Structure 1
Amino acid sequence: MRPPTTPRERSAPEPAPDGTPARATPDDTAPERAPGPRAPSSSESSSPAHEPVTDLSDLPPVWPGRRGLTAARPAVPLLAALALWGYAVRHTDVSRLDDFGLVTALHPAFWAGLVVLTAGFWYTVRDPRRPGGWPAAYVLGLLVMERATQAVLYPTPLYAWAWKHDGVVDHLLTAGGLQTADQIGDMAVYDQWPGFFAAQAALVRLLGVESTAMYMAWWPLVSSLMLLLPLLLIYRTFTEDRRLIWTAVWLFYVANWVGQDYFSPQSVAFALHLGVLAVVLRRYGRSGGARGRRGQAVWTAVLSALVVAMVISHQLTPAMLAVSLLALCLVRRSRDWVPPVTTAVIFLAWCGTAALPFLSAAMPDMIRSVGDVGGNVATGYGATPTGTGAVATSWAARLLSGTVLLLAVAGVWRQRVLRHRATPLLVIAAAPLPMFVASSYGSEMIFRVLMFMLPGAAFFAAAALLPRVRTLAAEAEADARGPRARATAPAAGRRAVAVAGPLLVLVAATLAFVPSYSGKDRINYFPPEEVALVQRLFDQAPEGSTVVAANRNYPLAYASYGTVDHYWFLDDDRRHVDEILRSPAATLARDMTGVERPARAYFLLTQGQFANSEMNGQLTGDQLDRIRDSVAASPRFRLVAENGAGVVYELRREGGAER
Structure 2
Amino acid sequence: MSTGLDEQRVTLGDLFPERGTAPPNGAPTPQDRHERRRELAHLLKDLAPAALVLLGVLLWAVGLEPVDPDTLDGYGLITKLSPVCLTGIVLVGAAGAWELFGQRRTIVLALATIGLWLSVSATQPLVYGPARLPWGWIHAGFSEHIGMTGDVIHNFDIRFSWPAMFTVTQMWAEAAGLERVDRMIELAPVAFTGIAALGVGALAQAVAGPGRVAWLAVWLFLAASWTEQDYFSPQALTYCLYVAGLAIMVSDLTSPGPATGGRILPWRRSVPPTTPGTRIRAHVLLLLLAVALAPTHQLSPFVLAGMALVLLLFGRLSSAWLPIMLLSAPTVWFFLGARETWVNELEKIVGGIGDFGGSLNAGVTDRVSGDLGHQVITSGRIGVFLLVGLIAFVGWLVLRRAAHRTWALPVLAGSTFLIAAVQPYGGEIFMRCYLFSLPWLAIGIGYALEALRSRAVLARVVSAVLVGALAVSCLALRGGNDAWLTFTDGDLAVMDVAYGQAREGETIVVLRWSTPLQMAAAADVPQRGMDELDSEERPCVTEEQMVACLEQDEVEYVVITPQQDREGVILDGMEPGWTGQVADGLLAHGYRVVYEHDGRLLLAREDREAGP
Taking structure 2 as the reference length, what is the TM-score of the superposition?
Answer: 0.85
Offset at residue 410 of structure 1 (A): 1.3
Instruction: Give the Å deviation of 1:178.
Output: 3.3
Aligned partner of residue 425 in structure 2, secondary structure: coil
The one-letter code sitting in structure 2 at the alignment partner of 1:242 is G
Q: CA deviation at 1:172?
A: 0.8
1:77 to 45, 52, 71: 52
Q: Which residue of 2 aligns with 1:60?
A: none
Residue 543 of structure 1 aligns with an amino acid whose one-letter code is E
2:63 to 70, 81, 88: 88
Aligned residue number for residue 135 of structure 1: 109
Runs of at least 5 residues in structure 1 that lack an aligned partner in the other structure = 1-62, 470-488, 594-600
What aligned pairs does 1:33-44 form with structure 2 within 5 A after superposition? none
Rounded Cα–Cα distance in structure 1 between residues aligned with 2:212 and 2:92: 16
CA change 1:303–1:402 in 2 (3 A) is: same
1:39-438 to structure 2, matched below 5 A, reads 68=43, 71-90=46-65, 96-127=71-102, 129-181=103-155, 186-187=156-157, 189-240=158-209, 242-285=211-254, 292-379=275-362, 385-416=369-400, 420=404, 424-438=408-422
Give the conservation status (yes or no) of the 8 Å contact 1:570–1:577.
no
Residue 447 (structure 2) pairs with residue 463 (structure 1)? yes
* Letter paired with 2:279: Q
The reply on whether 1:566 has 2:549 as its aligned counterpart is no
What code does the residue aligned with 1:617 have? D
Q: Establish whether residue 545 from structure 1 lines up as the match of residue 500 from structure 2.
A: no
Whole-angstrom CA distance in 1 between matches of 2:388 and 2:274: 42
Q: Which amino acid aligns with 1:366?
A: I
Residues 399 and 447 of structure 2 are in contact (CA less than 8 Å); yes or no, is this contact kept in structure 1?
yes
* More displaced 10-residue stretch of structure 1: 195-204 or 499-508: 499-508
Structure 2 unmatched runs, 5+: 1-37, 256-269
Q: Per the alignment, in what secondary structure is the counterpart of residue 318 of structure 2? A: coil
Mapped pair 1:615 → 2:599: no
Q: Which amino acid aligns with 1:177?
A: D
1:205/1:110 CA distance change after superposition, 3 Å: same
| Bigger helix fraction | 2
SS of equivalent to 1:603 = strand
Indicate if the aligned counterparts of 1:385 and 1:616 stay in contact, CA closer than 8 A. Answer: yes
Contact 1:382–1:618 (Cα < 8 Å) also in 2? no
Q: Tell me, what secondary structure is at the counterpart of 2:514?
A: coil
Paired position in structure 2 for 1:534: 495
With 416-425 and 236-245 compared, the bigger mean Cα shift is at: 416-425
CA distance in 2, matches of 1:232, 1:417: 25
Distance change >3 Å, CA 282–CA 570, structure 1 → 2: same
Q: After superposition, give the CA deviation of every residue in 1:82-128 in whole Å (9 maximum; x if it has no partner).
A: 1111211147565522222211111221111112111111101111x
Please say which structure displays the higher CA radius of gyration: 2
1:289, distance to aligned residue in structure 2 (A): 11
Instruction: Tell me the amino acid that sits aligned with residue 354 of structure 1.
Output: G
Deviates more, 1:117-126 or 1:621-630: 621-630
Quick one: distance in 2 between partners of 1:191 and 1:551?
23
Structure 1 partner of 2:592 = 638
CA distance in 1, matches of 2:243, 2:402: 20
Contact 1:580 1:587 in 2 (8 A): no
SS of structure 1 residue aligned to 2:602: strand
Matched, 1:520 2:475: no
Q: Does the 8 Å contact 2:394/2:448 carry over to 1?
A: yes
Superposed CA offset, 1:467-499 (max 9, x none): 268xxxxxxxxxxxxxxxxxxx76xxxx64444
The CA distance in 2 between the partners of 1:428 and 1:320, in whole Å, is: 11
Superposition deviation, residue 501 in structure 1: 3.5
- Secondary structure (helix, strand or coil) at the match of 1:647 reads strand
**Structure 1 residue 533 displacement after superposition:** 1.2
- CA displacement at 1:540 relative to structure 2: 1.7
Q: Is the 8 A contact 1:91 1:107 kept in 2?
A: no
**C-alpha contact 1:408 1:457 (8 A) present in aligned 2:** yes
Q: Deviations over 1:396-438 (max 9, x none)?
A: 2222121111101111113326772875433321221211211
TM-score, reference length from structure 1? 0.79
Matched, 1:653 2:596: no
Distance 2:402 2:39 in 1: 28
Distance in 2, matches of 1:582 and 1:350, equals 46
Relative to 1, partners in 2 of residues 1:438 and 1:135: Cα closer, same or farther, differing over 3 Å? Answer: same
1:275-314 superposed Cα distances (whole Å, 9 cap, x missing partner): 1111111112567899944432222111111111111100
Q: Is the CA contact 2:66–2:127 (under 8 Å) kept in the aligned structure 1?
A: no
What's the CA shift for 1:71? Answer: 4.5
Deviations 1:161-186 (A, max 9, x none): 011111111111111233422xxxx2
Indicate how the Cα distance of structure 1 residues 266 and 362 shifts in structure 2: closer, same or farther if over 3 A, else same: same
Q: Could you say what secondary structure the match of 1:432 adopts?
A: helix
Distance 1:544 1:94, change over 3 A: closer
Instruction: Give, in whole Å, the separation in 1 of the partners of 2:68 and 2:59.
Output: 16
Deviations 1:297-345, CA, capped at 9 Å, x for gaps: 2221111111111111000111211222112212222121232111111
User: What CA distance in whole angstroms lies between the structure 2 residues aligned with 1:467 and 1:414?
Assistant: 7
The answer (yes or no) to whether the contact 1:535–1:556 under 8 Å persists in 2 is no
Deviation at 1:222, TM superposition (A): 0.2
2:117–2:193 Cα contact (<8 Å) kept: yes
**What is the CA distance between 1:556 and its match in structure 2?**
3.9
CA displacement at 1:548 relative to structure 2:
1.7
CA distance change for structure 1 residues 303 and 602 in 2, over 3 Å: closer, same or farther?
same
606-615 vs 557-566, which moves further: 606-615
CA contact (8 A) 1:527 1:645 kept: no
| Distance change in 2, residues 1:64/1:302 (3 Å) | farther
Letter in 2 for 1:119: A
Distance of 1:638 and 1:66 partners within structure 2: 74
Give, in whole Å, the separation in 2 of the partners of 1:94 and 1:364. Answer: 40
Q: Match for 1:376: what amino acid?
A: S
**Offset at residue 459 of structure 1 (A):** 1.0
Tell me how far 1:446 sits from its aligned partner: 1.0
SS of 2:230 mapped into structure 1:
coil
Are the aligned partners of 2:504 and 2:525 in contact in 1 as well (CA < 8 Å)?
yes
